[in-house]
Every structure is written in C-alpha cells, then in structure tokens.
Amino acid sequence: MKTGIFYHPSFSRRSYLTQGSRLQDFPTALEPLLTQPQFALYESPPIDDEWLLQVHTQALLDEVALDPLCSTAWHSAGGVVLAAEMIATNAIRNAFAFIGAGGHHAGRDFFGGYCCFNDVVIAIAKLRQVHGIQRFAILDTDAHHADGTRALVRSDPDVLHVCVCGLDQCSADGTKVDIGAPGGGWDGSAWPRPRLPVAAADRDQIYAETALNGFLPRVKSFHPRFIFWYFGFDTHRGDYGDLGLSRTAYLRLAAALKEAAEDLCGGRLEVVLGGGSRSDIARDLIPPVIEILGR
C-alpha cells in the first residue's frame, strides 16, 4: 500500500503559521518522491461543519470564520481527517498531512497560537463513530505544550497523549504525559531555563532518546489501534522554538514511530505537520520524513 501525502495549494499561500511563506517550495519539493510508486498525493478537502461540531462549539466556528488567518482551517482539518480515514480503510498504509492552520492549541471553545480546529481530535471522533476504532496514541513533539488537545482528551482513557514540551507531569492513569524537552520548551506561559546543558553535537540524540523513551514503552503497553505524530519543526535550530536540533533528530523519530506502528497497529501512522516557520527547513526536512514513511 502507498504512503498518502495530503496537501492543498492554499497551504503554500495563506498558511496561518507564517502567512504563506513556510511551504512556498511545495508541492514542487515533493516531485522526486512522487515519481516513486509508493507515494500518492491527495488534495485536502474542506471538513464538514458537522464533524467540527463533534469537538468544537458553534461559537468557536463563528470566530474562526471571522479570522482571515484561519482561511485554510477547513482544508487543514479536512486533510488530516481524510488521511486518517484512508489509513483506517486500508486505502493507504500511512500518511503525512500538511496543514495551513495548526490544531493542537484549539480546545472545545478556544483557539489561538496559530491553531484553529483540533484536527487530530476531530479525526479521532470520526474514526470512532464511522470506523469503529476506539484506542489512539498521540506523540506531540512541537515545541509548545498541546493545551487544546490535552483539554479535549484529558478525561478519555482510550487516548494516550504524550507531549514533549516544557512541563514534566503524568496523570494518575498514565495516559496523559508531559516530558520536559532537553534544552527547554514552552509551558504555555514562559520559556523555562534549560533543564540540562546540552552540547550541540549531542542535542539530536538526547532529544530523540528523551521523546522515544517517554513514548515507546507507554505505547507498547497501551496497545493503540492508531498512532498520530504531531510533528513540529519549530524545535529545529534557527526556528522560533529553537532547541538546537537538526534533521537527524526528526528522521530518527520518524523511523522509530513507523516501526512502532508496524509492530503495534498494522502500520496505522499519520504524521500531522505542526509548528515551524522557515521554508528552507521545511524543504530540507519534510521530504526525508515522508520518504521514511514509504520505505
């Protein structure tokens, strides 16, 4: 089966995260991948309000509609949901979903931080109601705490949510976990001091090990039927959530998560693009991540 790539032209022109520039080289940068038979490009459709209202209030939808920087929000969520459904029905093996507006800072009745609709939680709602999949794991490696996602799944024992950010805490049942990122991270209010001095040459290894050691043992005992990776490259060296990382860290995460999905849930893995602002980093990093999904 193929690896699906979900994209809409508006994401390169009107992205909330950078008002258009971060994905300026796409979809052209995908052309070498698309010559290979294991990859397929799909246009992200707009999500129906019916599914947005499974997660968000009508008042939030009305506010998003008035925000010009959220103009891509319907197609962003729509692509994430379509990718999840195609994986669930075995139309594709796994997927990478581009977005123009993010998702993990959007709660039931609030949004912000470059996020409009909580794409992953909406996808979970549809997979449960339409496809009968009930148990999910989410790894979030965006620099910022996923406050919207956490608020939406806090009381859901069938969602394992592990966030590598600026907090260190774990729920009583072990399904809601925050892991302090080496070198710092955003806790929702202020940048904390780095937890440990990390030499530049070691940052990729330490970060990847921290994320994987916090996620893999938990996901293996949790037995999800579907895994989401909320992949922010804002942690890359020189981006706005700079933790001094290079693409080595992200490629290691991609390979480990693909292997875990193959072992645990029939390969059902969706990578959802999160934060990051620089077009050069996007061009250098995203195609190799997608290439790993297609191996």
- CA–CA distance, 22 with 14 (Å, rounded to integer): 10
Report the pLDDT value the prediction gives residue 37, as an integer from 0 to 100. 97
Tokens at 44, concatenated: 């992200």
Report the pLDDT value the prediction gives residue 8, as an integer from 0 to 100. 96
- CA–CA distance, 7 with 75 (Å, rounded to integer): 9
Better-scored residue on pLDDT, 69 or 177: 177
pLDDT band (50, 70, 90) for residue 102: very high
Report the pLDDT value the prediction gives residue 198, as an integer from 0 to 100. 59
pLDDT band (50, 70, 90) for residue 217: very high
Residues 35-74 pLDDT 10s: 999 999 999 999 999 999 999 999 999 999 999 889 999 9
Q: Are strands 3-7 and 226-231 parallel, antiparallel or unpaired?
A: unpaired
SS3 letters across 243-290: CCECHHHHHHHHHHHHHHHHHHHCCCEEEEECCCCCHHHHHHHHHHHH
Asked if residue 219 lies in contact with residue 160, where contact means CB atoms within 8 angstroms, the answer is yes
Better-scored residue on pLDDT, 188 or 271: 271
pTM for the predicted model, two decimal places: 0.94
Report the pLDDT value the prediction gives residue 181, as an integer from 0 to 100. 83
Nearest-Å Rg of the Cα atoms of the chain is: 17
By percentage, how much of the chain surpasses pLDDT 70? 91
Per the document, the length of the chain is 295
Residues 120-163 pLDDT 10s: 999 999 999 999 999 999 999 999 999 999 999 999 999 999 99
Residue ranges and CATH numbers for the domains of the chain are: 3-293 (3.40.800.20)
Residue 243, Cβ neighbours under 10 Å: how many?
Answer: 24
pLDDT band (50, 70, 90) for residue 189: very low
Question: Smallest Cα–Cα separation from 278: which of 29, 25, 30?
Answer: 25
pLDDT band (50, 70, 90) for residue 184: low
